[in-house]
Each structure stands twice: as structure tokens, then as C-alpha cells.
Structure 1
């Protein structure tokens, strides 16, 4: 799949919990995203200090902060800071994280390569702990860069070259 995210503006400022950002997969159409937790606090060192983000199926054509966010577009992701430093995410403000967002039924699909005592595949919650059901919103377990965000957004929007 080709890369489609269009840079908005670079930033070296680390995202904080509640930060609302824009991502532009289609020229002039911005999807809202939100930092749900600035650190995922996973038991896995590789991803524990990186933000958990939601991308919403809510768009804008300008840089206005919405009154509220709802309707998740893609499964939540744990990402690094490269989407901000490369300009693919642009923070426009901060809205406190709601209880609904904190309690979203989400998780990550994992395979026995990280846990040899379990069947393939199984699911983990956002802290890396095994859960015994398939969450409503789920994606592969691990750290997702801007390329992974591009893949997930383009897949759900049907953008393919």
C-alpha cells in the first residue's frame, strides 16, 4: 500500500493526555485524533512510554477544536512520536479524556512469539496483559509508526493505489 498521509506541520513537543490532533489522509480533509494516554504503561519495555491514540471518524476542513469526539475510525494504536515530528499529526488543543474513552473495549491481537504458554492468536489489553476475549476494537500488538497509522487509515477508508 502506498503512503498517503499528507504532512501538516512538524512539532517537537511531546503529546499529552487529552491532546486533540489532526491527520490528513486526503488533501484538505482532516480526521481528528486524540491522545488517550501519553504513556501506555505496558509491561513491555518497548512500548510502555509511548502514547495510546484514537483516530475518530469525524472530519473537518479547518483547524477547529470540536466540542466532543465520538465514533472511532480505526482500532486504538500505540504509536511513537514520529507522526508529530514528521508533521503527520498536528495538535490543535486539548479536551479531557472521557470515561467512555478510558473504558473503550479495545485491545491488541498477539501471537505466541511473546508468550509461549498461550494459543495463537490471543488478545492483550492496553497494558499488555492477556485478556480472554476479542475486544470490539483491536489491532496487532506492538508499536505503530506513522507508516502503520497510514496503513490502518487507508485500509478502513478504502484508499489504495
Structure 2
């Protein structure tokens, strides 16, 4: 599968699977002197009726640093975008580089994750229906690298990368 053009920079490819509690760095080509960070929340999230597929639930944070080893405080109240569900490709393709590992604490996490499906119903990350929306609300479904890049770019006011191969 071809990787779409992105503003994300390849940092370090790995075969290591993401684990809950991993803190990872990512960088954008328009901001070469800044690293942004994310946190792996869960690696066993369920999406819709796909009970055999386990998605990675992760956060992306607004604070940045000039060094990927100088990790700023990362709070669930300072997310760049709502929580995202994805596969393992952002790590294996090197867009997300794990820079610290350790368990998540309750203070690291939102008290409730909420995803809206195409019907407008709300679910947690394990497919349990919620009676109402709990902010921040995310779209239900697996986000690929292109969609993740678009979310980050929009949140930071950067132009979206266009796929010139279809011209």
C-alpha cells in the first residue's frame, strides 16, 4: 500500500508494536525545529462490527519542543485533536517515533472516550453504546496516515498535502 503525501516527516521506522503508555514524537516538514508528541492509550480498541480487528487509540498533544527528548507536560486537556483510532502503520512507517515508555495513569487519560458513528450514535473505544456525546467527540473508524496528517495540519493551520499522482 502506497503512503499518501503528508506534512509528517519520517523519523524512525520500527517493527516494535506500539504499547499503552508509549509517548511518541512526530514532526512536520513546515516546522523542522519543533517536535510534537502523542500517547498510546490502548492497542485493543474495537471499531463497529469489526470485532477481530484491534485498533490503536492515541492522543496527539498541542505542546511542542525543540527536541524529541525534551517532552513537555502532556495533559488530556491539551489535545491537538480529539482521540484517534488507527492501525500500526504510523509507527512501522516511521511517522511516529516512540521516545518514552511506561504505564498510563488516570491523570494521563480522559475519563471517557467518545466516538460518533455514521448514524450519529455514540460509542466508547470498545464498541459500548453511550447515551449521549462526551466531549471531545471523535469520528468512528480507522484513520489512515493521510487522515491523521490532515487532522494535524488543519489543527495547526497548515496547508493540506495534495496527492499529485492522480492528476
Query: After TM superposition, is the score higher than 0.5?
Result: yes
Match of 2:17 in 1: 14
Q: Is the 8 Å Cα contact of residues 46 and 126 (structure 2) preserved in structure 1?
A: yes
Tell me what 2:58 maps to: 53
Q: Which residue of 1 aligns with 2:37?
A: 32
1:66 aligned to which of 66, 71, 74 = 71
Shift of 1:122: 2.2
Deviations 1:128-152 (A, max 9, x none): 2221222211221011121121011
TM-score by length of 1: 0.83
1:63, CA displacement in angstroms? 2.0
Equivalent in the alignment of 1:157: 156
Shift of 1:30: 1.1
What is the deviation of 1:80? 0.7
The number of equivalent residue pairs is 152
Structure 1 residue 33: Cα displacement: 0.3
Query: Which stretches of structure 1, 4 residues or longer, exceed 6 Å deviation after superposition?
Result: none
The secondary structure found in structure 2 opposite 1:38 is strand
- Distance in 1 (CA, whole Å) between partners of 2:52 and 2:94 is 21
Distance 1:9 1:107 in 2: 31
Structure 1 spans left out of the alignment, 5+ residues? 113-120
93, 97, 110: which one pairs with 1:90?
Answer: 97
Q: Counterpart of 2:116? A: 109
Deviations 1:37-85 (A, max 9, x none): 1221556426741211001111112121537411111110111111011
